[in-house]
Amino acid sequence: MKDDRLARARAALFGSTSVVVRAREDPEARRLLEQAVAGAVARSADLARPEEVAELAEELLGFGPLQPLLADPRVTDVLVNRPDEVYVERDGRLVRTGARFRDERHVEEVARRLAAACGRRLDAAHPFVDARLPDGSRLHAVLPPCAPRGAAITIRRFGRSFPRFDELERAGTLAPEVAGRLRAAVAERRNVLVAGATGSGKTTLVNALAGLVSPDERIITIEDALELRIDHPHVVPLECRHANVEGVGAVTLRDLVRQALRMRPDRIVIGEMRGPEAFDVLQAWHTGHRGSFTTIHANGPEDALERFATLAALGGGGVPFEALARQVRAAADLVVFLSRDREGRRRVTAIEAREGAGGR
């Protein structure tokens, strides 16, 4: 049976994860892997036709039922809840697919394979992983008992490029008046706080804003996982590093903000603020690093300012919240709020200029 052969092939190749990962991109490594699969099948006294060997190798190389979903350029999110419950977001709509895993064990196998592609472990000692796949997609996976219903996989995919600013205008994401205000904000080196819910287009807008920066300026980007694809000649990306299996070696967003300040930045772009790094961002905005952009999860412009202050308080070393709130309102020149409607269309629905930002 095919499943039996596949199980034996997996057992024979246990510990050869690096070979499997290389074989996805290296034709020679793929040929060697197919030979190894054929050898494993032959040693089990089963005969396999060449096409069966290729199929087994493909099963080992790929990501099972998720492979065709990950190959679809319209898919932006892949969500695995149970073996027979796989959703995708396609063209802005969340839909259930016909993809099926054999059983819960199969989901766990694919989750481990995805983690291995990121160079990370996923097992009983490390039951969850948050990492970046080789194509830039963001992977999150969690195993039982942390996921009582079975392994859950979440993949957030990113295109090779983001829409340019003028493309967002044509798409209706930016109304003409909003587009004009944002162009002026970039030219005048205003600090822009982009807020909204998950999937509302915050990163897309920040990417487009950074593309408007003059080519003679130096941009430093700081992200938990690389997502931005800024169309600009002078960009230096910085990315966080998770702790190793011993729990050491982590490099946080806060670490990177502090390093970026020593790298002669003209603009600093933070992919998303969600922790104590907000305090360092706030201090940077107050000490001459103007014209920077960052995103934050929030339910509206006022909520965005309050959350900025709340996050800054986590790293503020006892600075009173009221003082931080005043600093936030003074430093954030423009607050831009994005929403996504039921049809999946993303639009700027509110834009507020703070005091000193050239009017409201």
- At 24, the pLDDT band (50, 70, 90 cuts) reads low
| Tokens linked to 172 | 């209706």
- The CATH number covering residue 125 comes to 3.30.450.370
At 158-192, the pLDDT tens digits run 766 688 999 999 989 999 999 999 999 999 999 99
The number of domains in the chain is 3
Claim to verify: residue 116 and residue 261 sit in the same structural domain:
no
Nearest to 274 by CA among 259, 254, 256: 254
**DSSP conformation letters of 39-72:** HHHHHTT----HHHHHHHHHHHHS-GGGHHHHT-
What does the pLDDT read at residue 247?
72
Claim to verify: residue 142 and residue 237 sit in the same structural domain:
no
The residue that leads in pLDDT, 12 or 263, is: 263
Claim to verify: residue 215 and residue 325 sit in the same structural domain:
yes
SS3 readout for 187-239: HCCCCEEEEECCCCCHHHHHHHHHCCCCCCCCEEEEECCCCCCCCCCCEEEEE
Average model confidence (pLDDT) for the chain? 85
What does the pLDDT read at residue 37?
63
What does the pLDDT read at residue 157?
86
Question: Is residue 358 one of the residues assigned to a domain?
Answer: no
Claim to verify: residue 82 and residue 52 sit in the same structural domain:
no
What does the pLDDT read at residue 12?
53
Judged against a pLDDT cut of 50, whether residue 15 lies above it is answered with no
The residue that leads in pLDDT, 36 or 232, is: 232
Claim to verify: residue 39 and residue 82 sit in the same structural domain:
no
- At 359, the pLDDT band (50, 70, 90 cuts) reads very low
Claim to verify: residue 79 and residue 150 sit in the same structural domain:
yes
Question: Is residue 114 one of the residues assigned to a domain?
Answer: yes
Claim to verify: residue 179 and residue 297 sit in the same structural domain:
yes
Q: Can you tell me the distance from the alpha carbon of 356 to that of 172, in angstroms, rounded to the nearest whole number?
A: 28
What does the pLDDT read at residue 41?
57
Question: Is residue 45 one of the residues assigned to a domain?
Answer: yes
Question: Is residue 359 one of the residues assigned to a domain?
Answer: no
What does the pLDDT read at residue 356?
47
- At 199, the pLDDT band (50, 70, 90 cuts) reads confident
Q: What percent of the chain has a predicted confidence (pLDDT) above 70? A: 80
Question: Is residue 20 one of the residues assigned to a domain?
Answer: yes
Domain boundary among 61, 77, 110: 61
At 60-71, the pLDDT tens digits run 656 888 988 988
What does the pLDDT read at residue 145?
93
Claim to verify: residue 197 and residue 304 sit in the same structural domain:
yes
Claim to verify: residue 29 and residue 92 sit in the same structural domain:
no
Q: What percent of the chain has a predicted confidence (pLDDT) above 90? A: 56
Element (H, E) at 327: helix 321-331
| Tokens linked to 9 | 């092939």
Q: Are 130 and 140 in contact (CB under 8 A)?
A: yes
Question: Is residue 360 one of the residues assigned to a domain?
Answer: no
At 312-336, the pLDDT tens digits run 999 988 899 999 999 999 999 999 9
Domain boundary among 158, 193, 224: 158
Claim to verify: residue 313 and residue 175 sit in the same structural domain:
yes
Claim to verify: residue 223 and residue 280 sit in the same structural domain:
yes
Provide the pairing of β-strand 85-90 with 93-96: antiparallel
Q: Which domain holds residue 317?
A: 165-353
In our burial notation (b when 16+ CB lie closer than 10 A, e otherwise), range 135-161 reads: eebbbebbbeeebeebbbbbbbbbeee
- The CATH number covering residue 179 comes to 3.40.50.300
- Residue given tokens 């670490």 in the structure block: 255
Q: Can you tell me the distance from the alpha carbon of 289 to that of 265, in angstroms, rounded to the nearest whole number?
A: 8
3 state SS of 26: coil
Claim to verify: residue 84 and residue 140 sit in the same structural domain:
yes
Average pLDDT of the residues in 81-106: 92
